[in-house]
Structure 1
């Protein structure tokens, strides 16, 4: 594919797509109005007498959320629709002590959970699971979420259950299965910046005990962040479309199958960091580079799951394969010859950059889960993952401000590497009811990563092995069906690996984390009030952190020897009146560098990208306007405390307050909504790299989205 850059003005393809979507909506609305079935009326919110009961699979078996002895934020189908969740960013913004920040390329994000930080081009600190298949590339977390059954966010290390990369927690996403009748849905929205977002699904039974569900989405966006030098918007999305098919079949009483495949193609703006000449993290300036950055690529993903009932246990086989490509082109000095005539590092030249990333992932898991509901329940399994990653990084002399200079111009740097990694694991877990009220749970997992990197320029080969034993133990005491307390010791492991060849830190170490946690989960007043909380303390050895070395065009991962982290989390939900729910969550993270041999002056500082505390609060009010028509109003408030950008703590971003609202009228069959985000137009950076760690002679920051709004219409049939 030949990349092209989209202008910031409104484009006819977006308007055509919106017109088609609204035309389809009108047609389907007419059809739905003539359909006489049980979906013709929506339940009266005034009849709700308790909060929703959510069933999760956080511990690899189905159980009530309030029975799970850990801090889990769960989003059911109903909550996903009510909150207007359409992306990973949307649900992360509602979870205290978890943040997800855009940075650099279209798919690049930094997730932080309880102070444990994402590393660019490396393993995530959070295990991401979609329909039972681990998403083992950092680039897979930025998802467009459509046709989703449930989202579960587990906080704290989950190595005993999920293995490698669950050092900060785990996120379990479950897509919807086909039902026993034909159904469909179409959702279309139009928003600020000529933003179009359309998704749809068709589901139908197939033959005897089979079902097919096909879903898809399309996005385009003119953007809202303007380049002050070119006058064009840098955060545009030329296109981002995805299609997904899911086929389920129950062959008999003992054997069932679940096949899933998806394909995504995207092209969007990239690497539009602002140059901050003042060097201050609170100086919010617009991007001004002379090269318009671009990301383009695609993701193909497929999986096969088989469940076999063996009487006393269920044997599950999950096979997954992913092919991911993400390429980017853009500015390396992030400025222009007018604002900075001295050019890149004062050398009097303009410089551009680009990277070609290709990743193939193959995984296989076999899991055996006991079926008995007696006092002893267990899980055992084995896991294998092969990762092949090719990465080419180039820097070029910029003379024309065009992207094709990376192929036709003068190259200053050309690094080409190939990585082939094999990961193996064996694990087991159990729950034993010591008494009717007291349960002991344990898990143990061994992970081995065998890594190999080849420098394609020289033929040099590097190899390294990283392994870890990850235990977990939990003691749970249930006072009754609505109240419990627990104490947990859990561990996490993030593999080490290789930086680019010929950089000053050639190999970074594996990170290990031990966590002690005590908490409670309670419901009161016949489930009209839920109150949960926990206190945790963790020790991380070889804490991984990221910085850029522009002189070698290299993104580098280093280690901090020892880090201590502690904090508290509180959650409350209440049904305070007919149709009126209020909710709030608080999380604190106090991280302290205890030992850092490479940078001893940082001892006592906070770890990079740490936010000291966060608060989420809001309400949702549903009321009946007629026998079939409801009004829904939802307000979400998010407070983010100070953010410490790098290990020296010299640059700190002040608190951020974000307000969102969603208002709509709806029936069981259709709905029309208005959604607003960041209504006070708060300015902040989602990534900031000071001069000492950017590799440049200026600081750079990646601007957050300003205030946005969208009008949405949806139909179910």
Structure 2
């Protein structure tokens, strides 16, 4: 398999490299119409000039594809998935085999307007008024720091405009789904002071039936947010960018189905008796200051987040009529709840050289402080009322912890053009993470620290205009930490990896055809994974000793006719457990792995009259077999999602019809076998069935 992947990658590169002369020559890197510009390396560059596999989605693409959440955006990227599960806002990002786990750091750096989002409850964001999303694959630790092992997701919201403009958007779909967003932007004091105010609202009655309660388990009562932004330019060299966002939500939570057959391809509806829900709010504040010194730009980014979430749910995921023996056959039903409070404050200061000189450099420092309080309880359920959690006599598990950590980092990167078409890049980052946990029940305190050096070296060669080859050695680091007090595994170790990658980027036929590809190999130590001990309401993180992951990625974009754009991509993630405390798992694939995934998109825009333009778009995503546990005993069959969108634009007004999951594919976004659920029954989290509706949009 490895030999075949290398042949595929090198063979494709050779086909397009053969006609090219390979002597040194000047290569034009100037931005031309139609080029995609990204800031993946903290400076503006053409996407095709960056030696990283990047999927870039601008605001227009997001709108045309009907993408409204970060989860939907990541679904267009092979070797990546963004699954729902557990509490509302809780997500499981998996990229190149590195996966999200509960109560721990994510496997990718998730950055919004320069501010890292460090908790899994912060990653499922509503996308509105977004400039672009950059999805970087492969370790990005040298620039993005800890938790960027699998890659980085960089979300850039739209800047205020220097003229008055606005938009409004409303969607209505089945399941009584209502989504609206609106925004207004313009000058407050000429071009020296600009503003943007926007917001979004979501309501959903639900489509996944609870067979016992007779209601919908996946409802969203409300999820809204309001964002304000002001950009001041007091001088030609100084820019001050201030942003504030507040959101509030109440929605379904923990709507797992009890899968009595133990078969991950047995798709059943939830049947629990105790209603699951979550509510909370979050506040995000950002201050960015740019000072142009001429030879370089100094940037300061300060971020603060205050998030609270209350969660209540069934624990046995059954009901007293169909399962009168209750949890573990003890004769009673059980419920659970978590109260989460999260506060983070971050500060980054960096300096980046200006221009496109032969030597380009950047350097910076970073600080993060996090306070995370978590209160977890399990109780005897007598009457299906979630408020029973406040009765001490009914509690059989009660854990309350206060976690804090201080993280420090220093980083630098240098790009040097050895020749006009040969560049050597070197990056280095040092991360240090100090963790502190207080058991508020027992009054016990634990402290530990982790640190790691993350180097990166890349050699980039541009043999001719429109063609790039690169080879990269990079590293990744995800901090360890404490599990909840009094669990069987008190601590989990830091996860580290080494990545070896070779890739190419090519633009042909007057930039009408783009082909990018890469082969990667990762050596992972202390791979982190997650399981549950339901009897003590404990969520536990543990380590797999050593894992090898390798794969190939290939992406093609073509514009064969005016108005027609085609794109497709494939990705493989072949993981193998090389060392583990459980010898039976050696040789298996890692949890949540999808060895093969692919997607295809087709969009056609055509003038219907002098004032009307028609738009049609198809998005198809294929997900191969999914291995849920390290024992590989439970494997979900492949499935496909097909989304269609069509409409017409009448100048500043647009009307569109859409359907998602047209074929009504059935799948679980999370499946927990009994070995890892801690229960006497497996659990499945149903994926959303077919949705459809109409959307109207106006801009001025």
TM-score under structure 2 normalisation?
Answer: 0.95
Q: 1:309 — aligned with what?
A: 292
Give unmatched runs, 5+ long, in structure 1.
1-49
2:421 to 433, 437, 441: 437
1:10-67, CA deviations, whole angstroms, 9 ceiling, x for partnerless residues?
A: xxxxxxxxxxxxxxxxxxxxxxxxxxxxxxxxxxxxxxxx993110001110000011
Q: 1:257 — aligned with what?
A: 240
Counterpart of 1:611 in 2: which secondary structure? coil
1:686 to 661, 666, 669: 669
1:351 to 312, 334, 337: 334
Q: 1:472 — aligned with what?
A: 456
1:42-96, CA deviations, whole angstroms, 9 ceiling, x for partnerless residues?
A: xxxxxxxx99311000111000001110100000122112111111121111111
Q: 2:177 — aligned with what?
A: 195
Q: 2:60 — aligned with what?
A: 78
Q: Is the 8 A contact 1:51 1:527 kept in 2?
A: no
1:129 to 111, 132, 146: 111
Q: 1:238 — aligned with what?
A: 221
C-alpha separation in 2, matches of 1:590 and 1:507: 28
1:288 deviates by 0.2
Counterpart of 1:501 in 2: which secondary structure? coil
Is 1:456 matched with 2:440? yes
C-alpha separation in 1, matches of 2:441 and 2:693: 49
Counterpart of 2:323 in 1: which secondary structure? coil
Q: 1:221 — aligned with what?
A: 204
1:234-286, CA deviations, whole angstroms, 9 ceiling, x for partnerless residues?
A: 10000001000010011101211000000010000011100011111111111
C-alpha separation in 1, matches of 2:84 and 2:118: 18
Is 1:91 matched with 2:73? yes
1:342 to 308, 325, 337: 325
Counterpart of 2:334 in 1: which secondary structure? strand
Q: 1:527 — aligned with what?
A: 511
1:548 deviates by 0.7
1:542-590, CA deviations, whole angstroms, 9 ceiling, x for partnerless residues?
A: 0000111101101110000100000000000101112111110000000
Is 1:605 matched with 2:605? no
1:428-457, CA deviations, whole angstroms, 9 ceiling, x for partnerless residues?
A: 001000001100011000000000000001
The 5 Å alignment of 1:346-495 reads 346-408=329-391, 410-495=394-479
C-alpha separation in 2, matches of 1:430 and 1:301: 32
The 5 Å alignment of 1:8-27 reads none
1:204 to 182, 186, 206: 186
C-alpha separation in 2, matches of 1:158 and 1:558: 24
C-alpha separation in 2, matches of 1:313 and 1:105: 44
Q: 1:592 — aligned with what?
A: 576
1:597-630, CA deviations, whole angstroms, 9 ceiling, x for partnerless residues?
A: 2x11100000000001101012101110011210
Higher mean displacement: 463-472 or 405-414: 405-414
Give the count of matched residue pairs: 667
1:411 deviates by 1.1
Higher mean displacement: 348-357 or 476-485: 476-485
Give unmatched runs, 5+ long, in structure 2.
1-31
Question: What is the CA RMSD across the aligned residues, in angstroms?
Answer: 0.9
1:300-350, CA deviations, whole angstroms, 9 ceiling, x for partnerless residues?
A: 000101011122111111100000111110100000011111100110010
C-alpha separation in 2, matches of 1:668 and 1:155: 37
C-alpha separation in 2, matches of 1:66 and 1:477: 12
1:132-175, CA deviations, whole angstroms, 9 ceiling, x for partnerless residues?
A: 11111111110100000010000001001100100110000000
The 5 Å alignment of 1:9-158 reads 52-158=34-140
Higher mean displacement: 662-671 or 122-131: 662-671
C-alpha separation in 1, matches of 2:539 and 2:649: 48
Q: 2:149 — aligned with what?
A: 167
2:484 to 500, 504, 526: 500
C-alpha separation in 1, matches of 2:518 and 2:611: 42
C-alpha separation in 2, matches of 1:506 and 1:600: 22
1:701 to 684, 690, 696: 684
Change (3 A) 1:117 1:203: same
Is 1:712 matched with 2:695? yes
1:180 deviates by 1.0
1:463-520, CA deviations, whole angstroms, 9 ceiling, x for partnerless residues?
A: 0100100000000001223111000001110000000000001000000011000000
Q: 1:45 — aligned with what?
A: none
TM-score under structure 1 normalisation?
Answer: 0.92
Is 1:569 matched with 2:572? no
Q: 2:18 — aligned with what?
A: none
C-alpha separation in 2, matches of 1:349 and 1:265: 34
The 5 Å alignment of 1:324-335 reads 324-335=307-318
Counterpart of 1:404 in 2: which secondary structure? helix
Is 1:266 matched with 2:246? no
Counterpart of 1:400 in 2: which secondary structure? coil
Counterpart of 2:175 in 1: which secondary structure? coil
Higher mean displacement: 441-450 or 572-581: 572-581
Counterpart of 1:490 in 2: which secondary structure? strand
Q: Is the 8 A contact 1:497 1:508 kept in 2?
A: yes
1:88-138, CA deviations, whole angstroms, 9 ceiling, x for partnerless residues?
A: 121111111100000011101100001101011110001011111111111
Higher mean displacement: 707-716 or 660-669: 660-669
C-alpha separation in 2, matches of 1:439 and 1:659: 41
Is 1:289 matched with 2:269? no
C-alpha separation in 2, matches of 1:398 and 1:614: 42
C-alpha separation in 1, matches of 2:102 and 2:83: 12
Q: Which runs of 4+ in 1 moved over 3 A?
A: none
Q: Is the 8 A contact 1:329 1:355 kept in 2?
A: yes
Q: 2:160 — aligned with what?
A: 178
1:667 to 650, 663, 666: 650
Counterpart of 2:207 in 1: which secondary structure? coil
1:675-712, CA deviations, whole angstroms, 9 ceiling, x for partnerless residues?
A: 11110100010000101110000101000000111210
C-alpha separation in 2, matches of 1:221 and 1:567: 38
Higher mean displacement: 666-675 or 334-343: 666-675
Q: Is the 8 A contact 1:187 1:200 kept in 2?
A: yes
1:558 to 531, 535, 542: 542
Counterpart of 1:551 in 2: which secondary structure? helix
C-alpha separation in 2, matches of 1:365 and 1:350: 49
Q: 1:247 — aligned with what?
A: 230
C-alpha separation in 2, matches of 1:221 and 1:68: 40
Counterpart of 1:203 in 2: which secondary structure? strand
Counterpart of 2:567 in 1: which secondary structure? strand
Counterpart of 1:283 in 2: which secondary structure? coil
Q: Is the 8 A contact 1:100 1:109 kept in 2?
A: yes
